[in-house]
């Protein structure tokens, strides 16, 4: 056990509380210690349930951008409710023998303390992978190597940041070794709607597992017709350099593993429209301020995360067969890549 320490960010304190609450239902390790000012900040990995490495795996990650605390809080709210349920629900205990659930709720604790998107070294971890966009990226936002004084700084190509390296190591060791795996990375701050993005961010080309992603999208839309999400490749919104999920997806594909990373962008512009005061409060731009709105945001995503847990556990039942793949691929190309097979035939 690690000694309980009081940290200046509530999310790390909450993680320690949940480790205590979870007892034998939760395992934890510290993947990396981030040194920032006088602090030694732990990068926690938590695992829930009794599943063994031969089971499919889902990872929930948050706080890669220090300002976007609501992502961490959504993950912690889900974890807390799961742990409470595990204390009495035998069916859930049985279920969690069949799926590995990993939580990395606060990947950038130094950024959380600084109230910045970047980490303690001024690097945007989601621009830090050694991968360049194939197309023109939006100025600055797409990633830049000019100065740490602007956001979206990519850092050193040959020396990735410790937080990014720890995340990559975790994905290689725990997700890429599973028979099927997914990640959901929780962000906030872009757009009016809640959005789900899949790779690529660096390219407008479709990914190899487009049929599988399309099947997942259909599964969500059919199971929860009143869901709130748009679902599309990130490159349809904007392209970037250095996306960690692109980098890891490509690596997994090389090793013939099916690893599907999703990014959830909680649309914070809606919060600002409803509460213009948020504009003048730095954190508020990325985080709902009013307590009832925080509760609503936490609540609204729990169903989706639970859906994802079930989809990963039962992946055999919805992944397209080899006969279905071509059909799914055509439908997905028409939906997301403006490739209409009928038009091509003219
Ligand atoms: Zn973000």
The pLDDT tens digits for 325-334 are 999 999 999 9
C-alpha 321 to ligand 1 mean position (Å): 34
Q: Does pTM surpass 0.95?
A: no
CA distances from 220 to 33, 154, 187, 231, 328 (A): 37, 34, 20, 10, 15
Distance 240 CA to ligand 1 centre (A): 12
**Gap from CA of 48 to ligand 1 centroid (Å):** 25
How close is the Cα of 310 to the center of ligand 1, in Å? 25
Q: What's the 213 CA to ligand 1 centre distance in angstroms?
A: 22
Residue 5 alpha carbon to ligand 1 centre in Å = 27
pLDDT score recorded for residue 196: 97
Instruction: Tell how far the Cα of 113 is from the centroid of ligand 1, in angstroms.
Output: 16
| Residue 290 CA to ligand 1 centre (angstroms) | 21
Going from the Cα of 124 to the center of ligand 1, the distance in angstroms, rounded, reads 9
Predicted pLDDT at 298: 80
Residue 63 Cα to ligand 1 middle (Å): 8
Expressed in angstroms and rounded, the spacing between residue 260 Cα and the centre of ligand 1 is 18
- Find the 206 Cα to ligand 1 centroid distance in Å: 22
Distance of alpha carbon 309 from alpha carbon 223, whole angstroms: 14
| pLDDT-flagged residues of the chain (< 50) | 343-346
Name, in order, each residue with C-beta under 8 angstroms of 257's C-beta and a sequence gap of 6 or more: 176, 177, 178, 181
Is 74 exposed, middle or buried (CB count within 10 Å of its CB: 0-12, 13-18, 19+)? buried
Q: How many helices (H) and strands (E) does the chain have?
A: 12, 8
293 vs 300: CA distance, rounded Å: 10
Say how many Å lie between the CA of residue 186 and the centre of ligand 1: 7
User: Which sequence spans correspond to the domains of the chain?
Assistant: 10-345
Enter the tokens of residue 15: 């993680």
CA of 40 to the centre of ligand 1 (A): 23
Provide CB contacts within 8 A for 329, sequence distance 6+: 210, 211, 214
Distances (CA, A) of 28 to 44, 175, 256: 7, 16, 29
Q: What is the pLDDT of residue 280?
A: 58
* Distance (Å) from CA 64 to ligand 1 centroid: 7
Whole-number Å distance, alpha carbon 69 to ligand 1 midpoint, is 10
Domain 10-345 of CATH type 3.40.630.10: yes
Q: Residue 261, class by beta-carbon neighbours within 10 Å (0-12 exposed, 13-18 middle, 19+ buried)? A: buried
Task: Find the 344 Cα to ligand 1 centroid distance in Å.
Answer: 37
pLDDT of residue 343: 46
Distance 97 CA to ligand 1 centre (A): 32
């Amino acid at each position: 056990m690690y000694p309980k320490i009081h940290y200046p960010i509530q999310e790390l304190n909450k993680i320690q509380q949940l480790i205590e609450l979870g007892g034998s239902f939760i395992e934890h390790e510290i993947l990396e210690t981030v040194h920032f000012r006088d602090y030694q900040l732990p990068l926690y990995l938590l695992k829930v349930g009794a599943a063994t490495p031969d089971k499919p795996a889902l990872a929930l990650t948050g706080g890669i951008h220090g300002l976007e605390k609501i992502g961490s809080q959504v993950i912690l709210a889900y974890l807390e409710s799961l742990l409470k349920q595990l204390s009495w629900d035998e069916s859930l205990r049985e279920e969690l023998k069949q799926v590995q659930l990993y939580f990395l709720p606060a990947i950038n604790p130094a950024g959380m303390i600084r109230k910045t998107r970047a980490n303690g070294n001024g690097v945007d971890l989601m621009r830090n992978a050694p991968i360049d966009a194939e197309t023109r990226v939006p100025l600055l936002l797409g990633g830049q190597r000019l100065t740490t004084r602007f956001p979206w700084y990519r850092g050193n190509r040959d020396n990735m940041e410790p937080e990014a390296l720890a995340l990559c190591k975790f994905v290689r060791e725990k997700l890429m070794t599973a028979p099927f795996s997914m990640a959901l990375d929780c962000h906030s701050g872009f757009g009016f709607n809640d959005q789900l993005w899949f790779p690529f961010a660096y390219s407008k080309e479709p990914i190899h597992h487009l049929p599988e992603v399309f099947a997942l999208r259909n599964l969500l839309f059919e199971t929860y017709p009143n869901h709130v999400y748009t679902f599309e490749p990130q490159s349809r919104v904007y392209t970037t350099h250095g996306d960690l999920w692109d980098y890891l997806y490509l690596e997994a594909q090389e090793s013939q593993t099916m690893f599907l990373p999703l990014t959830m962008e909680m649309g914070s512009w809606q919060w600002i429209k409803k509460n213009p005061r948020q504009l003048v409060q730095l954190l508020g731009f990325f985080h709902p301020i009013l307590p009832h709105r925080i509760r609503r945001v936490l609540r609204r995503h729990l169903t989706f995360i639970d859906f994802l847990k079930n989809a990963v556990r039962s992946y055999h039942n919805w992944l397209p067969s080899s006969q279905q793949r071509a059909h799914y691929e055509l439908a997905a190309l028409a939906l997301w890549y403006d490739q209409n097979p009928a038009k091509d035939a003219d």
